[in-house]
Amino acid sequence: MSVQPEEAQQLLDDIARTERLVRRAVARSALPLTLILWGVVWLLGFGATALLLPSIAGTVWLLLVGPAIALTFGLHS
């Protein structure tokens, strides 16, 4: 199977256009903020797990995860 140079160039142009569209869609979405939010939650939660008593660490996790879930839904609505 052989591809003509014009056809190959058209396919490469289509791929580049699709890549640009996907990058724009991701940049405009709430995904980056959501990933940062959950990164902070994990950092603080696992820090608490490593440094605090288990009962206190569990409370910290609950206090972090509850609002994070609400914020995630708020960002994506």
Tokens of 60: 């910290």
Q: Is the pTM of this model over 0.75?
A: no
Segments forming the whole domain that contains residue 43: 5-75
What is the b/e burial string over 20-38, where b = at least 16 CB atoms within 10 angstroms of the residue's CB? eeeeeeeeeeeeeeeeebb
Looking at the chain, list the stretches that DSSP marks H as alpha helix, in order from N- to C-terminal side.
Answer: 5-28, 31-51, 54-75
Count up the domains in the chain and report the number. Answer: 1
Rounded to an integer, the average pLDDT of 1-21 is: 91
Q: Is the pLDDT of residue 27 over 80?
A: no
